[in-house]
Amino acid sequence: MTPKSATTALVAILAATLACGGKRAPEPSAVEPQGNALLVVRNDHWLDITIYAIRGGSRYRLGMVSGLKTDTLPLQNTILAGSGTLRFLLEPIGSTRTHLTESIPIGANQSIELNIRNPLDLTTFTVSHRVSNR
């Protein structure tokens, strides 16, 4: 292969590569997945708490929220599929006491605000429809 034909081949490969690259759609945010529900946790307890979603006989670990902090956890559609209700299991780290909420109705594009209190039996929740910024 001559230097001229090698340069021509390289230019052709580069042009083909650039032609394939189009405008990409923006990636959805990890905190606000489109179509999924959100769990906003306000932990007013002094212990860090691991939070699980309970649906049917399955338990899904959602994450941990530090004591006296607020955090947002996404609820994936796979967790919401089926019954449309969830319960949350709260397990404080360093304690043997746990708390299981009552059944909470939830769907896509909704959010639950879970207010963890001390003692855990005083934990409350609210469900609201989430407005998209798009």
Helix, strand or coil, per DSSP, at residue 77: helix
134, part of any domain: no
Give the range of the structural domain holding residue 94, as residue numbers without chain letter: 36-129
- 81, pLDDT greater than 60: yes
66 compared with 1, residue with greater pLDDT:
66
57, part of any domain: yes
- Give the dihedral sign, CA 112/68/71/90: negative
45 compared with 30, residue with greater pLDDT:
45
Helix, strand or coil, per DSSP, at residue 120: helix
23, part of any domain: no
Q: CATH number, domain at 64?
A: 2.60.40
Alpha-carbon distances of 24 from 20, 21, 99, 122, rounded to whole Å:
11, 8, 44, 47
54, part of any domain: yes
Amino acid at 7: T
14, part of any domain: no
